[in-house]
Structure 1
Amino acid sequence: MAITPQWKDELRARITLSSLVMRSVKLTRAGREFKGCCPFHGEKTPSFYVNDAKQFYHCFGCGAHGDAISWMVDHNGLAFMDAIKELAAEAGMEVPAPDPVAAQKAEARASLIDVTEAAQRYFVENLGTASGAAARDYLQRRGLSAATLREFGFGWASEDKQALPRALPHFGEDMLAEAGMRIVTDSGERYDRFRGRVMLPIHDARGRVIAFGGRILDKRDGVAKYLNSPDTPLFDKGRTLYNLHRAAPAVRQTGRVVVVEGYMDVVALAQAGIAEAVAPLGTALTEMQLEMLWRMVEVPVLCFDGDAAGQRAAMRAITRALPLLAPMRSLGIVRLPAGLDPDDLIRESGAKAMQDILGQPASLIETLWAFERDAQPLTTPEAKAGLKARLMAHADTIADPEIRSLYRRELSERFSAFAYPPRAQTAPRYQPSGGAQRGNWRGANMPPPGLSSEARTTLGKLMQGAQRQNLLIATLHGLALHPQQIRRHAEALVQLARHHPESADLIESLLELAETLDSHDPSTIWSQTGQPAPPADSPFAFLREGTEAGDACEELAEAVTLLVERPALEAALAATIARFENDPEGSFAEQARLRLQLAAVNERLKHFGRRKAAMAATDSETPRRAGTD
């Protein structure tokens, strides 16, 4: 029999929606309705309404809308059938079974839940007895409050191998074994699985106890520190996330889910006010657990201990996640300081330190790149080639073709930047003082201060506007008019001389003369050398009379920058093209990046010239129009 619309209508009719919602949201009566602050988005002014007569809730702030069933799904994080079953149990209704076999399995699971729930009550009671004194001391040393112990259901399993059959005599040995509470050996011996351990219940999404985790108090050789229930008809560790039933409502408030390595980490975070934490159960995150996390948020935050084991756990999670990546579906990775787990960090530095770290997760691709880059020394070409091979192998596991392509491209760019760093400039920088201390920036010492007759002649020829009206000459002409800017751009001018050998003599002359000027002398080179003034109708503002000094210097700096950037990019592009045969993928990616940068510089050059011309045209039109008027 299927769940029909009529059956669901009857279920809704038997549930008082406001009572259901008020278990987690404070509501006040507003006429025939109830109102409160919406649990699906943060707000201070109530805009969330519940209408019992119409059997729906609605938020006028975020648009959340639904009935009792959708409340259990969207707010409590239950699967649809789990929501149906929980509401039906509350309403006293039988859920229609799809077939007899399924009904039989459901009945068996329900019986086993009776076992685990009863075992949980026994463990909690046992913690308060004389047998649990050492466990209570241990939990107190860990700084866990009484409220935390109650919320998470801490208990104690004594050393007695036959404690459970005596404590739970109404359940048979077979049921105890099937629920994972007892071990049966090949010889037929039976004994309690959990002995001498602090016990924590593991719940399903509906909050029912389905399994247990136990921790020993003192380290013992050959004894596992943590022990979980085996897989049973109730419990599949690869499909279960510890604390999911408590974290789901908190995730809807914060928009974040934090995945830590173990359930004691979850407890420590919850006590520090971080309620949206879950943990896998003794294994690396499985594909099913990742899917469960992605149903909650787009980018779950994985938090790992700051040791080698934590780093390996992070990589295992990344390896599992890569094939499943999809648009707007990824992982954030947080690594704690070396040697610390969440509990240690919170004790040493407080909850805010933990919040700060969780607030700045690294991306999946950053973590992948850093792990493989640091995995082994990269001192030889072969080792670097191995790094690239590993990175591309990771990228190739991604099923989504667009994301796979983007990962290959970004990892290639990171590899190229790492393996082929920009080479250092071989020529020394220009040093602006000290005679013999000045740099040999062109392969020969600069002449003593003062312009030679040859340099003065070169300066005059190159500054003739009729010979070379282009940005290069205009800029050098501008520096001659504003010599106080020469020292400011000395290093850029040295680079410019390397890329434009035809201007090297003039640049050397400018640098020489800048040495002879008083730093507070406002005069120009023209007055020092007797050269003619620049043309008055220049389209460049820094060459026109009457331009404010600040504006002229700003535009002059822009021109110098553009002149240096373009040839530098062209040289880098040529070098990248030259290594295409040895590294086609890396070269291609770097070429694309450099071409984009070069296009941007060319666009700036184009607009720079147009803007200056427009300014000149406007200035020349103004007197004529004034005269006409």
Structure 2
Amino acid sequence: MRADTVAGRIPQTFIDDLLNRIDIVDIIDHDVPLKKTGRDYSALCPFHTEKSPSFTVSQEKQFYHCFGCGAHGSAFGFLMNHRGLSFVEAIEEAAHSVGLEVPHEGPLTATKTDYSPLYDTLDRAQQFFVQQLKTHPDRDRAVDYLKARGLDGQIAKRFGIGFAPDAWDGLIKAQGKDDQAQKNLLSAGLLVENENNQRYDRFRDRIIFPIHDRRGRVVAFGGRIIDKGKPKYLNSPETPVFQKRRELYGLYQLRQADSNVKQILVVEGYMDVVALAQFAVNNAVATLGTATTSEQLATLFRVAQEVIFCYDGDAAGRRAAWRALETTLPLIRDGRRAGFIFIPEGHDPDSYVREHGPQVFTSSKSVTPLSKFLLDELATKTNLDSIDGRARFVELAKPMVAKIPAGAFRQLLIQRVAEIARLDLRAWSDAAGAKRQTPRPARRPRGRLSMVDQALKRLLFKPKLAATVGDVEVIAGLPDENAELLVEILKFCTEHPNVTTGALIEQYRMSDFEAILAQQLDTPPLELGNAAESIEFGQAIESLLAKATRTSVLEQAQAEMRRRAEDAE
């Protein structure tokens, strides 16, 4: 069931080796100062606000867990959840920390390219633009523009704002002195080559805003014209290191300012982000000239639980908000929230915050919840005073509700649609075209673990317990939920006697069992001491073996267990 390779075709063998080389304590301590407390380490949780430390890191298990909010995972999981990295980016970051280069296999091997020259070129260009803002003879025009927009030197420094002089060859003269350097500038989107093979600077007479990826590397630039001219805003083209559907302006600075972000504002332009930051609204990011994409939203929800979109309150703004809503619905699972702030006509976030202060972006009173916006917009398309109109309302709501993952939010939204339409909730399934399903057996009451789950939970937190049992293949034939998974993990732990909890998590990432393991790891079992835990685990396994029907296999397995227990003593 385990995936042998992951996205990007990184070999599983490399991931296993990397997990053996890194130490979760070093990874987390880089971001969150840890304090030794007994066998483990502790800190104030970076994922929620608390006064007393409830965040623990186990060096033995290579696993972190917060007893306050339930956050948990491996070193990779921490990098993903705390820094907002993708899984592949987390692997690359961890590998970099121990001086390893991430290999790739399969068809991507031949196309793997070293992009470090592009990153170096972009970084040097950033330094050039910043220096021009300080020293160029025409710098006063740029400085006066920034001051007129209310920006001070600290904000300009924080966002790395620069100046591209009004010249066709400023950057070429500074950094494109040979053909290879110019090719790098072209590949990075900093030069343009016309049909006559003449090359010139892409950004001229503009305020320059560097765009960083989540690791803080400059990947592109945005330029705002200083005087009148078109286009008003100019972005870098897409390059091997920049895909605008993935990146968000200001996200890196946001994470640097606050690693425990609860809410993120999505605005439309770089000036909106920096203007809000000038008024201490430090949780804004901007899309890059496109509607918000699912990739961008997935990134934002890895960083914060709530995403608020800021749009103009006119018809065009509400259409843009509706597109954002449609993109958001498939990602709204329990624990995530989204909403909208509609800015009055004649204002943008910059002018609005200057006139009304930061509270218009920080107060919950300014936010229209996603559910309210959805239902209000649907209500404008029909007449709720008539039966036909209410039936139409339900028809419009059906495909929108269908996009939302199963959970409390979806169920509550269905209830609200039924209330508005004056529809008996029991009729929703028929109205939504759902097929009747055979009733499922009642689930085990919450809080009571099955014998399989008791053994599985104990094993996940102490994989070495696998060495105390023998052949348990017979358990896989039991009808108990997760019995097959328990046997598979027992086998894996037996074959890898030094595996840690963190490594187990990564073995089953992106597998059919990932969600089950996450649920099991959500709450650690009671610590009883090595001897008592071994006895409890052994009793659970024996109980499961006793339920098996193949008596001969059962007897052999029990005998093997007793022999191993005697050897262990």
Match runs of 1:28-107 below 5 Å? 36-48=43-55, 59-65=66-72, 68-99=75-106, 101-102=108-109, 104-107=111-114
Q: Distance in 1 between matches of 2:269 and 2:201?
A: 23
Could you tell me which residue of structure 1 aligns to residue 370 of structure 2? 364
User: Could you tell me which amino acid in structure 2 is paired with residue 125 of structure 1?
Assistant: Q
Q: Which runs of 5+ in 1 are unaligned?
A: 415-585, 594-629
User: Could you tell me which amino acid in structure 1 is paired with residue 203 of structure 2?
Assistant: F
Aligned to 1:210, the other structure's residue is in SS state strand
Q: Distance in 2 between matches of 1:260 and 1:412?
A: 33
**CA drift at 1:198:** 0.6
Instruction: Summarize the Cα distance change of 1:56–1:373 in structure 2 as closer, same or farther, 3 Å threshold.
Output: closer
- Determine which structure has more spread, i.e. the larger CA radius of gyration: 1
Q: Distance in 1 between matches of 2:331 and 2:91?
A: 30
Instruction: Summarize the Cα distance change of 1:273–1:44 in structure 2 as closer, same or farther, 3 Å threshold.
Output: farther
Could you tell me which residue of structure 2 aligns to residue 203 of structure 1? 212
Aligned partners of 2:125 and 2:171 also within 8 Å: yes
Could you tell me which residue of structure 1 aligns to residue 354 of structure 2? 347
Instruction: Summarize the Cα distance change of 1:321–1:337 in structure 2 as closer, same or farther, 3 Å threshold.
Output: same
Aligned to 1:75, the other structure's residue is in SS state helix
Q: Distance in 2 between matches of 1:410 and 1:49?
A: 41
**CA drift at 1:348:** 1.8
Could you tell me which residue of structure 2 aligns to residue 336 of structure 1? 343
Deviation per residue, 1:545-599 (Å, 9 max, x gap): xxxxxxxxxxxxxxxxxxxxxxxxxxxxxxxxxxxxxxxxx57569999xxxxxx
Could you tell me which residue of structure 2 aligns to residue 126 of structure 1? 132
Aligned partners of 1:49 and 1:58 also within 8 Å: yes
Q: Distance in 2 between matches of 1:47 and 1:294?
A: 23
Aligned partners of 2:360 and 2:366 also within 8 Å: no
Aligned partners of 2:329 and 2:403 also within 8 Å: no
Aligned partners of 1:372 and 1:387 also within 8 Å: no
Instruction: Summarize the Cα distance change of 1:592–1:84 in structure 2 as closer, same or farther, 3 Å threshold.
Output: closer
Aligned partners of 1:18 and 1:34 also within 8 Å: no
Instruction: Summarize the Cα distance change of 1:37–1:590 in structure 2 as closer, same or farther, 3 Å threshold.
Output: closer
Counterpart selection for 1:187 from 196, 204, 208: 196
Q: Distance in 2 between matches of 1:394 and 1:228?
A: 37
Aligned partners of 2:150 and 2:275 also within 8 Å: no
Q: Distance in 2 between matches of 1:114 and 1:76?
A: 22
Deviation per residue, 1:247-272 (Å, 9 max, x gap): 35777624222212222222233333
Could you tell me which residue of structure 1 aligns to residue 156 of structure 2? 149
Q: Distance in 1 between matches of 2:110 and 2:30?
A: 27
User: Could you tell me which amino acid in structure 2 is paired with residue 396 of structure 1?
Assistant: P
Q: Distance in 2 between matches of 1:98 and 1:111?
A: 23
**CA drift at 1:131:** 2.8
User: Could you tell me which amino acid in structure 2 is paired with residue 196 of structure 1?
Assistant: D
Aligned partners of 2:44 and 2:53 also within 8 Å: yes
Q: Distance in 2 between matches of 1:587 and 1:56?
A: 50
**CA drift at 1:151:** 1.4
**CA drift at 1:42:** 0.8
Instruction: Summarize the Cα distance change of 1:249–1:198 in structure 2 as closer, same or farther, 3 Å threshold.
Output: closer
**CA drift at 1:276:** 2.7
Aligned partners of 1:395 and 1:404 also within 8 Å: no
Could you tell me which residue of structure 1 aligns to residue 120 of structure 2? 114
Q: Distance in 2 between matches of 1:396 and 1:51?
A: 45
Q: Distance in 2 between matches of 1:238 and 1:197?
A: 23
Q: Distance in 2 between matches of 1:277 and 1:134?
A: 27
Match runs of 1:429-448 below 5 Å? none
Q: Distance in 2 between matches of 1:261 and 1:390?
A: 31
Counterpart selection for 2:16 from 5, 9, 22: 5
Instruction: Summarize the Cα distance change of 1:74–1:365 in structure 2 as closer, same or farther, 3 Å threshold.
Output: closer
Aligned to 1:332, the other structure's residue is in SS state strand
Aligned to 1:253, the other structure's residue is in SS state coil
TM-score, scaled to structure 2: 0.62
Aligned to 2:208, the other structure's residue is in SS state strand
Deviation per residue, 1:277-296 (Å, 9 max, x gap): 22211011123323333444
Deviation per residue, 1:104-131 (Å, 9 max, x gap): 5341x33221221121111111111123
Deviation per residue, 1:216-235 (Å, 9 max, x gap): 11232xx0111111111111
Aligned partners of 1:396 and 1:404 also within 8 Å: no
**CA drift at 1:346:** 2.1
**CA drift at 1:185:** 2.2
Instruction: Summarize the Cα distance change of 1:591–1:237 in structure 2 as closer, same or farther, 3 Å threshold.
Output: closer
Could you tell me which residue of structure 2 aligns to residue 318 of structure 1? 325
Deviation per residue, 1:412-467 (Å, 9 max, x gap): 864xxxxxxxxxxxxxxxxxxxxxxxxxxxxxxxxxxxxxxxxxxxxxxxxxxxxx
Identity %: 40
Match runs of 1:372-387 below 5 Å? none
Q: Distance in 2 between matches of 1:274 and 1:195?
A: 30
Could you tell me which residue of structure 2 aligns to residue 273 of structure 1? 280
Counterpart selection for 1:255 from 262, 280, 292: 262
Deviation per residue, 1:531-553 (Å, 9 max, x gap): xxxxxxxxxxxxxxxxxxxxxxx
Aligned partners of 1:326 and 1:400 also within 8 Å: no
User: Could you tell me which amino acid in structure 2 is paired with residue 117 of structure 1?
Assistant: D
TM-score, scaled to structure 1: 0.56
Aligned partners of 1:164 and 1:192 also within 8 Å: yes
Instruction: Summarize the Cα distance change of 1:19–1:99 in structure 2 as closer, same or farther, 3 Å threshold.
Output: same
The RMSD of aligned alpha carbons is 4.0
Could you tell me which residue of structure 1 aligns to residue 399 of structure 2? 396
Could you tell me which residue of structure 2 aligns to residue 542 of structure 1? none
Aligned partners of 1:306 and 1:338 also within 8 Å: yes
Aligned to 1:300, the other structure's residue is in SS state strand
**CA drift at 1:362:** 1.5
**CA drift at 1:337:** 3.1
Counterpart selection for 2:294 from 284, 287, 295: 287
Aligned partners of 2:83 and 2:303 also within 8 Å: no
Could you tell me which residue of structure 1 aligns to residue 247 of structure 2? 240
Aligned partners of 1:48 and 1:58 also within 8 Å: yes
User: Could you tell me which amino acid in structure 2 is paired with residue 258 of structure 1?
Assistant: L
Instruction: Summarize the Cα distance change of 1:355–1:20 in structure 2 as closer, same or farther, 3 Å threshold.
Output: same
Could you tell me which residue of structure 2 aligns to residue 158 of structure 1? 165
Could you tell me which residue of structure 2 aligns to residue 450 of structure 1? none
**Does residue 213 in structure 1 map to residue 222 in structure 2?**
yes
**CA drift at 1:26:** 5.3
Match runs of 1:395-544 below 5 Å? 395-396=398-399, 398-400=401-403, 410=416, 414=420
Aligned partners of 1:17 and 1:55 also within 8 Å: no
Instruction: Summarize the Cα distance change of 1:280–1:327 in structure 2 as closer, same or farther, 3 Å threshold.
Output: same
**CA drift at 1:200:** 0.8
**CA drift at 1:406:** 7.8
Q: Which runs of 5+ in 2 are unaligned?
A: 1-9, 429-569
Aligned partners of 1:127 and 1:135 also within 8 Å: yes
Instruction: Summarize the Cα distance change of 1:395–1:123 in structure 2 as closer, same or farther, 3 Å threshold.
Output: farther
